[in-house]
Amino acid sequence: MVIKSDRISSEEIKENLQTQLSELESLESMFCNPGEIRVEDVCTLSDIKNFANNKSRYLPQYLDLTINLLVDDLKFELCVTLPHEYPNVEPEMFVRNHKLNKSRHVQLNKDLCEYIASLEKGEPCIFSAISWLQDKAQSYIEIKEKPTSQKVEKNDRYIRYWIYSHHIYSKTKRREIVDLANLLHISGFCMPGKVELVQSYWRVCKLKIYWPIKFLICIIRHENSVV
């Protein structure tokens, strides 16, 4: 794809990508053990290097990283997507941990997004996100979950949402959509393309949990009530 953008110039993108590459190099020097950090698509990384070094005029896809952290003997997976505008805009981040229940899982990601949004734009922030996670992650873990009663609400109903989203290049982001849906027991499908189509079928009580997730930036929404 030849670069075309009304929001940002080619030179600005190159400068941002060079910053991203420098940050990645620093991350790799810190997380140097096998499996600690992973670039999801090495071809994309090569394309980014070529574009940043004026060896290609084709705009690369976004850089996707996965950083595996050990916090108090608990494993956390931090998935990061860096848009071309980063560090002048926020990166997209998502945290996973198998011991988190669904409400704390969503709350952790919401709080992380709010923390990232509070930081000054124009500076790399992945190290800040890692430090925040290392300081805060333990407090989201429930060692023993309290049993919840299975109450059926009288007004509980199901709805179907047809969601038209911006084109999602990132394989990591697509996986996040599916993983969160599985966590909340939401059925449906996600069809990549231009535009992205997500059809989800859920109980109304799950709506407030799933919908605010940051990567679901949608331009058209359609709702069907299902009896």
Report the chain's mean pLDDT, rounded to a whole number.
Answer: 78
pLDDT of 161 over the 60 cut:
yes
To the question of pTM greater than 0.85 for the whole model, the response is no
Phi-psi region of 131 (alpha: psi -120 to 50; beta: other; left: phi over 0): alpha
**pLDDT > 70 in the chain, percent:** 60
Residues 131-150: what's their mean pLDDT? 74
In angstroms, what CA-CA distances link 77 with 21, 38, 69, 208? 21, 11, 6, 24
pLDDT band of residue 126 (cuts 50, 70, 90) is: very high
pLDDT of 84 over the 90 cut:
yes
pLDDT band of residue 209 (cuts 50, 70, 90) is: very low
Q: What is the pLDDT of residue 142?
A: 64
pLDDT band of residue 4 (cuts 50, 70, 90) is: very low
Q: What is the pLDDT of residue 195?
A: 46
Q: What is the pLDDT of residue 60?
A: 95
| Amino acid letter, residue 181 | A
pLDDT of 2 over the 70 cut:
no
The 3-state secondary structure of the chain, one letter per residue: CECCCCCCCHHHHHHHHHHHHHHHHHHHHHCCCCCCEEECCHHHHHHHHHHHCCCCCECCCCEEEEEEEEECCEEEEEEEEECCCCCCCCCEEEEECCCCCHHHHHHHHHHHHHHHHHCCCCCCCHHHHHHHHHHHHHHHCCCCCCCCCCCCCCCCCEEEEEEEECCCCCHHHHHHHHHHHHHCCCEEEEECCCCEEEEEEEEHHHHHHHCCCCCCCEEEEEEEEEC
In the chain, the domains with their CATH numbers are 10-140 (3.10.110.10), 158-226 (3.30.70.1150)
More confident residue, 182 or 63: 63
Q: What is the pLDDT of residue 101?
A: 85
Q: What burial letters (b/e) apply to 190-208, b meaning 16+ CB within 10 Å?
A: beeeebbebebebeeebbe
Q: What is the pLDDT of residues 63-80, one digit of tens each?
A: 999 999 999 889 999 999
Tokens of 186: 């939401």
pLDDT of 143 over the 70 cut:
no
Q: What is the pLDDT of residue 185?
A: 67
Q: What is the pLDDT of residues 11-35, one digit of tens each?
A: 999 999 999 999 999 999 999 999 9
